[in-house]
Amino acid sequence: MVNATPYVPKNSIRIVTAASLFDGHDASINIMRRILQSSGAEVIHLGHDRSVEEVVNTAIQEDANAIAMTSYQGGHMEYFRYMYDLLQEKGAGHIRIFGGGGGTILPSEIAELQDYGIARIYHPDDGRSMGLQGMINDLLEKCDFPVGDQTEGAVEGALKGEARHLARLISCAENFPDHYENLLPKLEKGMPKGDKTPVLGITGTGGAGKSSLVDELVRRFLLAHPGKRLGIISVDPSKRKTGGALLGDRIRMNAIQHGDIYMRSLATRQSNLALSKHVAEALRILQAAAFDLIILETSGIGQSDTEILDHSDVSLYVMTPEYGAATQLEKIDMLDFADLIALNKFDKRGALDALRDVKKQVQRNHNRWDDAVEDMPVFGTMASQFNDPGTNRLFAAVMQALVEKAGASELATNTSDEGAQSEKIYIIPPARTRYLSEISEGIRGYNDWVLQQSNVAEALYQLQGSMHALSATDLDDKDRLIKGLQEAFEKKKRDLDPYNWDLIQGWDALRDRYKADEYIYQVRGKDIKVPTHSLSLSGKKIPKVSTPRYRSWGDQLRWLLQENVPGDFPYTAGIYPFKRTAEDPTRMFAGEGGPERTNKRFHYVSLGMPAKRLSTAFDSVTLYGHDPGRRPDIYGKIGNAGVSICCLDDAKKLYSGFDLCDPTTSVSMTINGPAPMLLGFFLNAAVDQQCEKYITANGLEAKVEAVKKAKYDNQGLPRPAYQGGLPEGNNGLGLMLLGVTGDEVLPAEVYAKIKAEALSTTRGTVQADILKEDQAQNTCIFSTEYALRLMGDVQAYFIDQKVRNFYSVSISGYHIAEAGANPITQLAFTLANGFTYVEYYLSRGMDINAFGPNLSFFFSNGIDPEYAVIGRVARRVWAKALKTKYGADPRAQMLKYHIQTSGRSLHAQEIDFNDIRTTLQALYAIYDNCNSLHTNAYDEAITTPTEESVRRAMAIQLIINKELGLAKNENPLQGSFIIEELTELVEEAVMVEFDRITERGGVLGAMETMYQRGKIQEESMHYEMLKHTGEYPIIGVNTFLSSKGSPTLIPGEVIRATEAEKEDQIATVSALQQASGDKSSAALAAIQIAALSGGNVFEAIMDAAKVCSLGQMTEAMFAVGGQYRRNM
């Protein structure tokens, strides 16, 4: 390990840190900003998914020395160059730019960016040679220059309200107070005459949600006072030991990215104080710029924050209901002085009692005995909840107080402070927060019952054996003895569940069924006949399912209740009696460029395969619900690291040539935040394919031509078309109706019938797992409550429309593991999320047996020992809980899961070794009876997979399934001592984790304290540390290195989207919006009406998907559902 001493800066260094636009990979930038802070820098952290303009504007407003970015999702060339150009354009070329992106940024690209003017792009080999602290030292040294001494034109610019000059004057006051004193007369001379800008002071304890509340107040201010300008000064504490500071308020704020808002973060630069000594100067500078309102937010260090009163006209104290005993209220100074009090996080237990107690305390403190307690200026708020009524009332009261106390009559609003109290929109009802512990208690109870029943069965077996033994003897009194044993047998049998007695009695018949040449079982009323054996080259019959040779009833019963044969409860060995012979569980991931290129890849990987299992990767623009555009930070990401899909026509082209309603076709879509919109595109594409088949069968092509002519030719618009020739295997299905939909061509009753049939037959899954996104992957776009509501609306629609073969959610552990979780944490968090969806859907009145079969799972498969049993434990836990706690029928009890080999185990060093790891992981998955499997290509660590590497990845599965002899058996893990022990160990570890989550208020309560995210990061750091030190050996990475030291490999070919593909996508959006016209406006309005009126939003999305782009629908729902608020 490289251990460098932290660099000690000569100047106060301010650095803006973030992850690039449409990029959720924030783990590394979080590590970097922590080291920067501990090295003495003041860090303004913005979190993930930040546009160039957001970052540049922040850096200018904050007068930063540098910007430090990570970019892992492609488009880095355009992103960093655009950032450099924008800084130059805005007169901030002195701000240095630093970046990194693992192996995704090639050395040649690093050289090109550094030649362009980027200060430094760090490569993984830099980390290996310099160490993390060494890289940070290099960064700090390169940006260790004074800020605030160059003030030419600053006063004049500040008086005009120009952000760059406001920032520079504040820095001058902070860093060069003597120089600032010389500028002060000029500043004061130019200050507006008359009333000074009113200041709203906001303080409160840390963790009270001040930043979120400020964001909500700002949003309401912009809506209530369009054109008025707002300045914000936010103060955070400096670390006494290092002098560094985390200025993290901006990460929680969405509304401040507006031309009328200026925000400056200040570090206290002194310990144990809530304010910086430079606050007065900062306020004076903003007042000189004639802002209409200034908000001063302090760091809030405890119960005494009254210093803010010296600087504010109206003061707001923010607290939560969790202040302890009522006597603690007597110690809070601000309750004596604050004009208004917000009791935020009003969804916490005891909030109503807390509101009453705080109001009484305020009444006592101010001797307002003549006023009713209800009239005290204390407001219950939930800033985390979109359009919260309590926050609406607080905003109205704040504006009124500014009018009355500061004479700011121009801030008067028509908003009344009368109205409903804040009321939490519960996803999980409060009475149900113990659901995970109820499950763990139920499963432990079941396991205890199994042990007790198997002991009874063992005793019965021994009694029967004794009777048999006695009957074979010549003892004179054997009849008496046998009678006594028979009585004991009958008495003991009363302790055995009759169902279990039937199981024991059926043991021999069960084994005989697998010895027969054919096994017959039923699926949806049909008899399925399966050969029970395969024939080896040696002429030996190899059983597909092997049964135990237990003779003891206790052993038999324990095995039947905890393991059982595949297809029988608790489904430990698998949910179906036998694997499908017509298709392998192979599912390959594809997504690059435009829809045509990915369509070609789909046809390549599925050519000649009996089943078409398509797994779709989307580009980051699509993953974040936006449309393609020419702005460089968007343009660079179009079609990179996934396929660009922005409308219905894209979906039709993407899946053209595959009959989406054929039972051998199955489509998986890896998308979460905007999943309902992509699902709308997909389902409409499936419906229109069936409409095409009807049109062809009935000779209605001329009608399609007439509709297209009226819609496009007569309007002078180009007709949508598939770019380039069709690949081998594509028969053109899905392309006839490009630019139009079936309901524009066919009679309503015909279309409705075709739609109903299509929805009931199409197969596949959409990931749509919002809980996992918040915990691990960061592609949330809507507020969590609204996103979960959309998930519920999709499932309700599926029930209403009888969608039986498509999974409404793929509850995903894969990305939890990729973020760093170990296999037990991955499994526990994923199952916990699954049970949370169950509880939510039940709370909406859905039937467990109606929605249970629409749930599926997705796991990662590493090479840790626990991965050998991840599927069997998941099936067993799910089945036990669904049967014993929720009373679900067998179809809902069956946990279906897709598994993918670990992306984290793909290394950019010695990449040929990656296939060895992938093969071992695939073997785990196939032996564990997964329902479908994706094997990663060996070169994915350094580039988009090539056709050659994808073929090798598919061959791994095919060789195991077709050639490996033991894989002809479908339950090879059963009967292994270590597998049984691991299964019990992992199952209990999952139960323990369930109890930990319950202690934190269930999954959603734990998410509020970022328990899951913190645990994942801790486990990730543990792995990285062991990997770094070599304690965890990785062949070709930290041991068994080549003679060249196994350097990071550079791909010979990098697959990126072409300019033509990007332009095609931009043109597609433009053409759609021109052709749709008023129809799209009406459809977007219908989505918003459904959202506000409690209707089914997905039903409206299904209609809107025909005429609207992805970005249009996203923006429409931001206005009614709220944007996701990032966490640190």
- Per-residue pLDDT of 741-759, as tens digits, reads 999 999 999 999 999 999 9
d(CA 177, CA 277): 11
Q: Which amino acid is at 2?
A: V
Residue 450: predicted pLDDT: 99
**In this structure, is residue 273 part of a structural domain?**
yes
Residues 317, 232: one domain? yes
**In this structure, is residue 318 part of a structural domain?**
yes
Residues 244, 382: one domain? yes
User: Quick one: what percent of the chain has pLDDT higher than 90?
Assistant: 85
3-state secondary structure of 897: strand
Any residues with CB less than 8 A from the CB of 48 and at least 6 apart, and which? 18, 19, 23, 24, 25, 26, 29, 778, 1126
Residues 406, 449: one domain? no
**In this structure, is residue 106 part of a structural domain?**
yes
Task: Return the CATH number at 217.
Answer: 3.40.50.300
Residues 487, 533: one domain? yes
**In this structure, is residue 402 part of a structural domain?**
yes
* Residue 614 β-bridge partners: 588, 667
d(CA 701, CA 1070): 27
Residue 392: predicted pLDDT: 94
Residues 515, 372: one domain? no
Cα-based distances in Å from 904 to 27, 206, 778, 861: 14, 36, 17, 10
Residue 303: predicted pLDDT: 41
Cα 303 to the center of its chain, rounded Å: 36
Instruction: Show which of 411, 426, 458 is a domain's final residue.
Output: 411
Answer for the pair 300, 203: CB distance below 8 angstroms, yes or no. yes
Cα-based distances in Å from 924 to 119, 178, 917, 1011: 46, 70, 11, 30
Q: How many domains is the chain partitioned into structurally?
A: 3
Residues 396, 315: one domain? yes
**In this structure, is residue 171 part of a structural domain?**
no
Residue 299: predicted pLDDT: 73
Residues 350, 451: one domain? no
d(CA 762, CA 802): 11
Q: Is the peptide bond before 570 cis (omega within 30 degrees of 0)?
A: yes
Give residue-wise pLDDT tens across range 290-340: 999 999 998 765 544 678 899 999 999 999 999 988 889 998 989 999 999
Give residue 229's domain range.
191-411
**In this structure, is residue 47 part of a structural domain?**
yes
The alpha carbon dihedral of 411, 417, 419, 421 has a sign of positive
Residues 393, 529: one domain? no
Q: Is the pLDDT of residue 55 over 70?
A: yes
Question: What average pLDDT does the segment 706-724 reach?
Answer: 96
Residue 240: predicted pLDDT: 86
d(CA 941, CA 901): 13
d(CA 101, CA 641): 14
**In this structure, is residue 39 part of a structural domain?**
yes
Residues 471, 360: one domain? no
Rounded to a whole number of angstroms, the CA Rg of the chain reads 33
| Tokens 């990979």 found at | 25
Average pLDDT of the chain, as a whole number: 94
Q: Is the pLDDT of residue 234 over 70?
A: yes
Instruction: Show which of 537, 565, 580 is a domain's final residue.
Output: 537
Q: Is the pLDDT of residue 443 over 60?
A: yes
Instruction: Show which of 126, 142, 158 is a domain's final residue.
Output: 142
The alpha carbon dihedral of 628, 634, 636, 641 has a sign of negative
Residues 217, 344: one domain? yes
**In this structure, is residue 493 part of a structural domain?**
yes
DSSP collapsed to 3 states, 411-477: HCCCCCCCCCCCCCCCCCCHHHCCHHHHHHHHHHHHHHHHHHHHHHHHHHHHHHHHHHHHHCCCCCC
Residues 292, 380: one domain? yes
CA end-to-end span of the chain: 28
Q: Give the angle subtended at the CA of 856 by the CAs of 987 and 1023, to the nearest 5°.
A: 50
Q: Is the pLDDT of residue 585 over 80?
A: no
Give residue-wise pLDDT tens across range 256-282: 999 999 999 999 998 767 677 899 999
Residues 393, 266: one domain? yes
Question: What average pLDDT does the segment 799-825 reach?
Answer: 97
Q: Is the pLDDT of residue 1047 over 90?
A: no
Task: Return the CATH number at 70.
Answer: 3.40.50.280
Q: Which amino acid is at 345?
A: K
If 0-12 CB within 10 Å is exposed, 13-18 middle and 19+ buried, where does residue 152 land?
Answer: exposed
d(CA 587, CA 659): 17
Q: Which amino acid is at 916?
A: I
Residue 419: predicted pLDDT: 61
Cα 431 to the center of its chain, rounded Å: 26
How many residues in the chain? 1128
